[in-house]
Every structure is written in C-alpha cells, then in structure tokens.
C-alpha cells in the first residue's frame, strides 16, 4: 500500500472546477515529482492533501495517508495529522515565517502543538531539527529572528519546522523557485538526503522539469487540473505519450534558431564602471559607508551580437542595467553607445537614449493600467524630435504590433485584456517602435511559463535577425542565457568574474564561481534533452 494515495480527486472552488479526476501515489522513501505550468492545479493538489483549501472548496474522490481517509477526517484529526504525519514546505521563504517570533520558537511550536512536553525539551528537539536541516544552532542560534537570515536559510527553517516530528510525508511546493541557483542546488540536495536518511515520502511540486528530473523517482505531469502523464521517472522522459508533455519537454530545452552573425564593430562600450551607494547604516550620526554595487566593470557588445549577463540576486546586474540606461549616475568609468557617452555633464544624452530600449521582467507591472496599447507602445516617441502622428503613427503602431505577432486591432485595448505572454510581446513592441540598436532584456522571460517562454525566445531571435538588433540579455537562468546568447559575462559581487563564448563558459568554466554556478544549475538528463 502506498503512503499517500490520491484517487479520482476532483475539486471545485465556489462551483468552479479546479481539479478533475486527479490520481497519484507517493511511496515511502521515494520522491514523486509533480510538474505543471501555472494554473495546472499542482499546488491545489498539495493543499488538498493537507485540507488547507480556500473557503468554498468542495472535494470529491479519495485521499488517504497510510490507510487513513483524509477527506472524511474531522478537523480535529486533521490538525493532529498536519505537522505530525505530513510536513509542508512552501514557495516563499521570505513570507512563510512569522516575522515577530524567533526561529527556535517557530520550530519548537511544531513539537509543542502535538506533544505534551516541557518547553526546554521542545527547544532541544527544535535545535536538532535545525541541525538536520543543516542550519546548525551553533552558528544560527534559536533566538534569531527570520529577518536576520537569508532566503535559503529561512527555507531551511521552514524545512526544520516540517521535519521536526519526522513526518511520513513531506510536501514541497516549489521549494526553490524563489531562490538563487546555488542555493536551489543546496536545498534540493538537502531534501534528497532527508528522504534517503529518514525514509520519508516526498511530493515535490515544480514548474521546472529540470529541477524535478534530477530528484524524482516517479513523475506526474499536470495541465489545467488534470493529470496528463504519470509513471516512473526513469522511463517516462524517453517515452512521453501525451502531446502536451512532449511539447513541455521540448520547450524546456528549447533553443531558438538564429542566422545573423555579429559584426566586428563595438556598439556598446562599458569601461571601468563604478557605481557606489552611500548608506547610513548607523542612523544619521553614524558613519557613512559606501557600498559598491558595480565594481570596475568593463565589457563591449558588438553590433548584432547577443550578449548574456548572468549572476545571482544582489550581484549588481540590475544596477549595471540602470547605469547603462542612464537611470543612475556612475561614480567612475564611462559608458559609450556608438562612441557617444550615455551621460555627459550629468545629463542623459537624448540621441544615445533613443538608440536603446529595455524590456523588463514583470509582464504585469510594466504597463500603466489606464492607457491603451497604442499610447503605451508609443511612449518612446517622446525621445524623438518630430514624432510621427496621424496615419504615420498608426502605421508605426501596427508595424510594431504585427512584428511581435499581435494585430493592429489590439492597439485600442487595455493591458488587462492580455495574457502574460502577450504582455511581454507588447513590451517588446514598445522597445522596437523607435527602431533602437540595442535592446536590454532584463529577466524578460523569467516570469513566463516554459511553453510561452519558448515562443517569446523564438520571437526575439527572429526579430534580431530581421532588424539587426543587438541584445544584452540579463538573467539568473543559465539555460535561457545559453539558448539565446553567443557570448556571456558572469557577474559576482559587482565584478565580472568570467567572460567568453557561451558554450565555452558553460562547458569549460574557468572561474571557481562559474564552476559552482554551472554545477548547481539543474539540467535535464542528457539522454532526453
């Protein structure tokens, strides 16, 4: 008998069907990977197991844990079961902990809720749980508050909370999505060791095929509330039946085709750039400390080239982006576009700015919700001395929209009428409309589902060939950077630590940090991709 048995589970929230006839099993000591894009119902399945569903939820079917029926259990029995028999790890470590309580108290609470033991004993066992989650109390005392820990460390606290009572089943819902690659690898390793060492069953939920492929013994692929494919992981990848799962696999390793080649002329030159912040870390009578976000960075982008810039959060890549765009002043060095400085005499050079545009990450926050599409995408016309108007403007709008795969008729719509992928296309149209030379793509596909991401990458590749565009592609996602760039820069703590052709850097990394980064990046098994 399986540890967790979900059989024909259907879920409705306020009458709206969310899950349809979902079945899956978790065996003790094994990892079940649940894969799906947003809206596939994978997280709702997990919340169904814990019976922590939103108000107005209606479940049918059967969920049983070690033979005990969950759907018919009383709330009292469920409370006794949660935390003791099932532990859960969530996506957002930054918000999953109570900011007002120490980590020790929060881990000990799992024990105190279920067992009638003295506080001191609960804290001793909490220390033990933290040690098992590899956050040794010698270095991270129980009296720490969540805000004193990093994201990865907080996720370890959440894991310690979940495993404090050695539950039979651990559910991890996108446990590493909010973390950097190297932290992600460490957390995944930890989960792997816990499953092996404690004989727990693990239900690992993710949108990322590569994350799951590495870890899972069994796989379930979900789409719009239904299971489309399931089976042992080993055979499944090579033998996918459902067209959706095949498309998903293809999209995950997708490499857009490119034909254009870079010219030998430098378009953007970044020379010894320094960007410092002043921070008053000790109140306003304390010392002023200087934080160097960008530390003596130099590189060039040739015309027609696609250059990648990778690094983890806080490495300074966003600051560098803003400096190149002229949104922040630099304290040293120079930035030249086509030989002209971006900023001269503390003023941004309009002619230079006209030649570069940017596409941001968030498809939802990138547009003023009160403007129509035509006004949104023509905003860069502000940079032109005589912007087109009337029929000419309409033609420009239509051309930009059509070149990103939308229609001219979309110009009268508001932004909320579009999906995430479409919005990102509109953002590209806005960047294209004044025909820039350089487009900076700041995590431009990071928020998109894999299948949509593959389409947008294809679009970008096609546009580069068609308009002879140059890209600076900034991302934390190595696989995306690898698929679309020719050359790559690796950034760490404000400095470029390695630079070279993309394939060379990823296949034979030289710098220790790059090696660490490449090793940490989850990859699909070689025989399937």
Partner 1 sequence: MLQYFLKRLVSLCLSLVAASVLIFLTLEVVPGDPAAYMLGINAQEDTLNALREQLGLNGTILERYLSWAGGLLVGDFGTSYTYRTPVAELIGERLWVSLPLALYALILSTLIAFPAGIWAASKRGTLADSGVMGVTQLGVAIPNFWFAMLMVLVFAINLRWFSAGGFPGWEDGFLPGMKALTLPAIALALPQASILTRVMRSSLLDTLGEDYIRSARAKGLTKGQAMWRHALRNALIPVLTIMGLQFSFLLAGAIIIENVFYLPGLGRLVFQAISARDLIVVESVVMLLVFAVILVNFTVDLAYAWVDPRLRRRR
Partner 2 sequence: MKGLLHNRSTLPGALLTVVFAGAALISLFWVPYDTTVLNIADRMKLPSLAHPFGTDQFGRDILSMLMVGARTSIAVALVAVGIGMLAGVPLGLAAAARKGSLPDEIIMRTNDLVFAFPSLLIAVMITAVFGASALNAIIAIGIFNIPVFARLTRGAALTLWSREYVMAARVAGKGAARISLEHILPNVTNLLIVQGTIQFSLGILAEAGLSYVGLGAQPPTASWGRMLADSQTMISLAPHLAIFPGMAILLTVLGLNLLGDGLRDLLDPKLRRART
Q: In angstroms, give the least distance from the CB of 22 to partner 2.
A: 24
Enumerate residues 323-342 that contact partner 2 by CB under 8 A.
325, 327
Pick 98 or 241: Cβ nearer partner 1:
98
CA 451 vs. chain centroid, Å, equals 15
Pick 175 or 363: Cβ nearer partner 2:
363
**Alpha-carbon torsion 132, 136, 137, 140, what sign?**
negative
Enumerate residues 429-458 that contact partner 2 by CB under 8 A.
430
Binding partner selected for residue 283 from partner 2, partner 1, none, CB under the kind-specific 5 to 8 Å limit: partner 1
Binding site for partner 1 (CB under 8 A): 50, 52, 75, 79-84, 86-88, 90, 92, 95-101, 109-110, 113-114, 145, 147-148, 158, 161-162, 280, 282-284
Which listed range, 67-75, 87-95, 108-116, 375-383, lies at the site for partner 2 (CB under 8 A)? 375-383
Binding partner selected for residue 75 from partner 1, partner 2, none, CB under the kind-specific 5 to 8 Å limit: partner 1
**How many residues of this chain interact with partner 2, rule: CB under 8 A?**
23
Report the C-alpha gap between 419 and 410 in whole angstroms: 13
Strand arrangement of the beta sheet that strand 306-310 belongs to: 356-359, 438-442, 470-475, 306-310, 487-492, 495-501
Tokens 């579009």 appear where? 418
| Phi–psi pair at 475, nearest 5 degrees | -160, 155
Strand 347-348 to strand 4-13: parallel, antiparallel, or no bridges (unpaired)? unpaired
Q: In angstroms, give the least distance from the CB of 360 to partner 2.
A: 4
Binding partner selected for residue 424 from partner 1, partner 2, none, CB under the kind-specific 5 to 8 Å limit: none
Binding test (CB under 8 A) with partner 2, winner from 370, 386, 407, 527: 370
- Angle at the Cα of 437 (from 327 to 380), degrees rounded to 5? 55
Report the C-alpha gap between 390 and 36 in whole angstroms: 46
- Angle at the Cα of 322 (from 316 to 325), degrees rounded to 5? 140
Q: In angstroms, give the least distance from the CB of 75 to partner 1.
A: 7
What ranges make up the beta strands (E) of 343-446?
A: 343-344, 347-348, 356-359, 438-442
Query: Do residues 247 and 449 touch, judged by C-beta distance below 8 A?
Result: no
Binding partner selected for residue 92 from partner 1, partner 2, none, CB under the kind-specific 5 to 8 Å limit: partner 1
Asked if 12 interacts with partner 2 (CB under 8 A), we say: no
**Ordered DSSP codes for 354-383:** TTEEEE-S-TTTSS-TTSBHHHHHTGGGGG
Q: In angstroms, give the least distance from the CB of 99 to partner 1.
A: 6
Report the C-alpha gap between 217 and 31 in whole angstroms: 5
Asked if 53 interacts with partner 2 (CB under 8 A), we say: no
Q: In angstroms, give the least distance from the CB of 371 to partner 2.
A: 9
Pick 183 or 357: Cβ nearer partner 2:
357
Asked if 379 interacts with partner 2 (CB under 8 A), we say: yes
Report the C-alpha gap between 237 and 232 in whole angstroms: 9
Q: In angstroms, give the least distance from the CB of 315 to partner 2.
A: 19
List 261's β-bridge partners, or say none. none
Q: In angstroms, give the least distance from the CB of 215 to partner 1.
A: 21
Binding partner selected for residue 101 from partner 2, partner 1, none, CB under the kind-specific 5 to 8 Å limit: partner 1
Enumerate residues 348-367 that contact partner 2 by CB under 8 A.
348, 350, 353, 357-358, 360-362, 365-367
Report the C-alpha gap between 497 and 296 in whole angstroms: 11
Binding partner selected for residue 365 from partner 2, partner 1, none, CB under the kind-specific 5 to 8 Å limit: partner 2
Which listed range, 20-28, 43-51, 379-387, 400-408, lies at the site for partner 2 (CB under 8 A)? 379-387
Query: Do residues 490 and 290 touch, judged by C-beta distance below 8 A?
Result: no
Report the C-alpha gap between 140 and 127 in whole angstroms: 10
List contacts with partner 2 (CB under 8 A).
325, 327, 348, 350, 353, 357-358, 360-362, 365-370, 379-383, 427, 430
């Amino acid at each position: 008998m399986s540890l967790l048995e979900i059989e024909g589970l259907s879920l409705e929230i306020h009458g709206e069907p969310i899950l349809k006839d979902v079945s899956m099993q978790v065996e003790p000591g094994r990892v079940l990977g649940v894969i799906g894009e947003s809206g596939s119902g994978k997280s709702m399945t997990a919340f169904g197991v814990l019976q922590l569903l939103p108000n107005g939820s209606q479940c049918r079917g059967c969920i049983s844990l070690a033979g005990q029926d969950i759907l018919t259990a009383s709330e009292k029995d469920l409370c006794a079961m949660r935390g003791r028999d099932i532990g859960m790890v969530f996506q957002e470590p930054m918000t999953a902990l109570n900011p007002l309580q120490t980590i020790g108290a929060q881990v000990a609470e799992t024990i105190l809720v279920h067992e009638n033991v003295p506080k001191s004993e609960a804290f001793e066992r909490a220390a033990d749980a933290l040690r098992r989650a590899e956050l040794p109390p010698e270095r991270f005392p129980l009296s720490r508050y969540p805000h004193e820990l990093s994201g990865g460390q907080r996720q370890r606290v959440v894991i310690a909370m979940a495993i404090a009572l050695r539950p039979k089943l651990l559910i991890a819902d996108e446990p590493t999505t909010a973390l950097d690659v190297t932290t992600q690898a460490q957390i995944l390793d930890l989960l792997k060791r816990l499953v092996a060492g404690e004989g727990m069953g693990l239900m690992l939920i993710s949108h990322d095929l590569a994350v799951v492929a590495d870890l899972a013994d069994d796989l379930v692929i979900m789409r719009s509330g239904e299971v489309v494919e399931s089976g042992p992981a080993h055979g499944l990848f090579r033998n996918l039946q459902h067209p959706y799962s095949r498309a998903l696999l293809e999209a995950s390793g997708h490499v857009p085709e490119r034909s254009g080649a870079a010219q030998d002329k430098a378009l953007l030159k970044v020379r010894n750039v320094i960007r410092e912040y002043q921070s008053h870390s000790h109140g306003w009578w304390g010392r002023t400390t200087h934080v160097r976000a960008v530390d003596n960075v130099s590189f060039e982008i040739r015309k027609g080239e696609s250059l990648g810039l990778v690094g983890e959060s806080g490495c300074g890549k966003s600051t560098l982006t803003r400096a190149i765009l002229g949104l922040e002043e630099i304290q040293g060095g120079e930035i030249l576009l086509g030989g002209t400085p971006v900023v001269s005499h503390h003023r941004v050079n309009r002619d230079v700015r006209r030649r570069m545009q940017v596409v941001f990450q968030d498809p939802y926050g990138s547009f003023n919700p009160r403007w129509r599409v035509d006004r949104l995408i023509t905003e860069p016309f502000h940079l032109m001395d005589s912007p087109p108007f009337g029929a000419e403007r309409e033609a420009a709008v239509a051309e930009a929209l059509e070149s990103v795969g939308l229609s001219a008729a979309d110009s009268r719509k508001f932004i909320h009428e579009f999906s995430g992928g479409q919005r990102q296309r509109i953002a590209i149209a806005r960047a294209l409309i004044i025909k820039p030379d350089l487009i900076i793509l700041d995590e431009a596909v990071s928020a998109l589902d894999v299948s949509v991401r593959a389409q947008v990458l294809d679009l970008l590749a096609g546009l580069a060939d068609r308009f002879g565009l140059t890209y600076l592609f900034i991302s934390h996602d190595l696989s995306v950077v690898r698929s679309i760039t020719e050359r790559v820069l690796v950034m760490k703590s404000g400095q470029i630590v390695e630079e070279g052709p993309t394939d060379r850097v990823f296949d034979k990394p030289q710098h220790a940090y790059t090696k660490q980064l490449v090793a940490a990046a989850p990859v699909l098994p070689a025989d399937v991709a």
